[in-house]
């Protein structure tokens, strides 16, 4: 069966290479019993792919059930999936079959698999490896023949490293991974989808189909669509119902789109499992370092001006006394005489240097340029040490103060060999 006939049969709109490849993989794996992991952002249509795989498989005449793991409370998900015996917990007035028993011979689609509790993950792993499960409150091992298709909009490997997802289950689920592209990765399909939705809603509500002018089309295509196909469909319905004029301009269309910012900090390359964690750290550190450098540079400039021209200082006796005291006690020397190791790409800043020939004078006239380190790793290590000292080596408080997770702080302590 070719890809176009699959699209026609299941109502798939689009011609992007990424979408065609995902459909091709789904078709090829459908006739096997391999476990499939469908990945993609929220709203891209992951459940539609699971239904395609089931409909093209040898199990197509047997049951298919979709289960949202994030919608079932942690205390009842084991009972929902594997069943329970009478009296196994409060409220268990009768025995109950779970989904793995009722769907025996068919397919179960586990959506949002990343939300599944760790205990339930261990039970699921047993089902995948041996086809066995035990009801809650029972000791009897039961057999099941169910094909599992899982889906997630999260980075499961990152959850593995955070201790929130079992590594063995991850590799067992991702026997065949399918990545469904987001709308911003298939821009050529956005207007096609909108026209299809607009035509469907025009038939539903017995109105004329809306049409977009060129500016509106460009706005539609360049919008990021964080909600993907689901969001696009909702927008098409809103416009079909609420717009009096069916010829939509960019100004009219913008009323229905959520505002978003196109400003972005430099991002790490895709595929790095630590992306989100590092991205949060990086944004905080960039802002902190830039603010620190600005404040330190300004402070140096003010002290230099005051020391070279005391008349510029505020007419505040206490301020002048403090400056004189700092000068007499060499109190400014530790601040202005720091000379860290020169790093590649370091920038020079004016730093005050005492002149031995003018030791008895109030004014300091001579200064020279020295290198100030802007190495991010050195600054990061320094900040971590300061935070630990401030909070008396309490990692949780130090991590909160730094704006990073406790796990990330632990990793940084190891990385920089910091002794608490």
* Gyration radius of the chain over CA positions: 31
Give the fold, CATH level 3, of 378-416. Answer: Arc Repressor Mutant, subunit A (1.10.10)
Which of 18-27, 78-87, 296-305 has the least mean pLDDT? 296-305
Rounded Cα distance between 311 and 322, Å, is 15
Rounded Cα distance between 216 and 25, Å, is 35
Q: Mean pLDDT throughout 321-329?
A: 52
Sequence ranges of the chain with CATH classification 1.10.10:
378-416
Chain centre distance of CA 214:
33
- Per the CB < 8 A criterion, the answer to whether 232 and 190 are in contact is yes
CATH number of 184-254: 1.10.8.60
User: What is the tens place of the pLDDT at every residue in 392-418?
Assistant: 888 888 888 888 888 888 888 888 888
Q: Mean pLDDT throughout 13-22?
A: 94
Please report, to the nearest 10 degrees, the dihedral formed by the alpha carbons of residues 96, 97, 99, 102 taken in order.
-140
Q: What are the backbone dihedrals phi and psi of residue 114, each rounded to the nearest 5 degrees, phi first?
A: -65, -15
Rounded Cα distance between 65 and 118, Å, is 22
CATH number of 3-181: 3.40.50.300
- Per the CB < 8 A criterion, the answer to whether 22 and 179 are in contact is yes
User: What is the tens place of the pLDDT at every residue in 227-266?
Assistant: 999 999 999 999 999 998 899 999 999 999 987 644 444 4
Q: How many CB atoms lie within 10 A of CB 2?
A: 9
Please report, to the nearest 10 degrees, the dihedral formed by the alpha carbons of residues 7, 10, 11, 15 taken in order.
-20
pLDDT of 408: 82
Sequence ranges of the chain with CATH classification 1.10.8.60:
184-254
Examine the pLDDT at 339 and tell me if it is beyond 70. Answer: no
Which of 29-43, 188-202, 344-358 has the least mean pLDDT? 344-358
Q: What angle do CA 277, 279, 282 make, to 5 degrees?
A: 110
Helix, strand, coil percent content, the chain, rounded in steps of 5:
50, 10, 35
Rounded Cα distance between 389 and 391, Å, is 5
Rounded Cα distance between 67 and 391, Å, is 45
pLDDT of 12: 93
pLDDT of 404: 84
pLDDT band at 316 (very low <50, low <70, confident <90, very high): low
pLDDT of 341: 43
User: What's the first-to-final CA gap in the chain, in angstroms?
Assistant: 63
The DSSP letter of residue 182 is P
Rounded Cα distance between 225 and 190, Å, is 10
Residue 372, SS3 per DSSP? strand
Show the 3-state SS of 203-256: HHHCCCCCEECHHHHHHHHHCCCCCHHHHHHHHHHHHHHHCCCCEECHHHHHCC
pLDDT of 315: 54
Q: Mean pLDDT throughout 38-47?
A: 95
pLDDT of 269: 43
pTM of the model: 0.62
Rounded Cα distance between 146 and 100, Å, is 7
**Token pair of 19 as six digits:** 């979408």
- Per the CB < 8 A criterion, the answer to whether 152 and 37 are in contact is yes
Sequence ranges of the chain with CATH classification 3.40.50.300:
3-181
């Amino acid at each position: 069966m070719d890809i176009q006939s699959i699209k026609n049969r299941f109502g798939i709109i689009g011609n992007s290479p990424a979408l065609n490849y995902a459909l091709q993989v789904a078709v090829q794996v459908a006739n096997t019993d391999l476990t499939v992991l469908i990945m993609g952002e929220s709203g891209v249509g992951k459940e539609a792919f699971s239904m395609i795989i089931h409909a093209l498989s040898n199990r197509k005449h047997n049951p298919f059930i979709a289960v949202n793991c994030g919608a079932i409370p942690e205390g009842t998900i084991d009972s929902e999936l594997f069943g329970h015996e009478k009296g196994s917990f409060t409220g268990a007035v009768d025995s109950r079959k779970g989904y793995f028993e009722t769907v025996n011979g068919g397919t179960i689609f586990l959506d949002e698999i990343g939300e599944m509790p760790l205990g339930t993950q261990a039970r699921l792993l047993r089902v995948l490896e041996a086809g066995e499960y035990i009801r809650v409150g029972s000791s009897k091992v039961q057999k099941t023949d169910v094909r599992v298709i899982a889906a997630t909009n999260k980075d499961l490997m990152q959850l593995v490293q955070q201790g929130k997802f079992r590594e063995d289950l991850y590799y067992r689920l991702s026997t065949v991974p399918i990545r469904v592209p987001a709308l911003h990765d298939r821009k050529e399909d956005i207007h096609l989808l909108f026209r299809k939705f607009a035509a469907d809603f025009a038939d539903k509500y017995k109105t004329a189909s809306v049409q977009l002018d060129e500016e509106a089309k460009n706005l539609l295509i360049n919008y990021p669509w964080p909600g993907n196909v689901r969001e696009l469909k909702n927008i098409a319905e809103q416009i079909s119902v609420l717009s009096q004029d069916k010829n939509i301009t960019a100004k009219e269309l913008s009323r229905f789109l959520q505002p978003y910012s196109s400003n972005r900090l430099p991002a790490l390359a895709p595929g790095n499992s630590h992306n989100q964690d590092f991205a949060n750290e990086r944004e905080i550190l960039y802002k902190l370092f830039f603010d620190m450098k600005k404040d330190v540079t300004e402070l140096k400039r003010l002290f230099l001006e005051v020391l070279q021209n005391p008349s510029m200082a505020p007419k505040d006796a206490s301020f002048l006394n403090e400056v004189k005291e700092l000068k007499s006690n060499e109190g400014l020397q530790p601040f202005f005489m720091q000379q860290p190791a020169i790093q590649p790409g370091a920038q020079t800043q004016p730093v005050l240097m005492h002149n031995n020939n003018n030791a008895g004078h109030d004014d300091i006239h001579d200064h020279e340029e020295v290198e100030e380190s802007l190495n991010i790793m050195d600054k990061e290590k320094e900040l971590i040490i300061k935070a630990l000292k401030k909070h008396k080596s309490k990692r949780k408080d130090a991590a909160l103060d730094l704006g990073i997770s406790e796990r990330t702080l632990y990793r940084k302590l190891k990385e920089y060999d910091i002794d608490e």
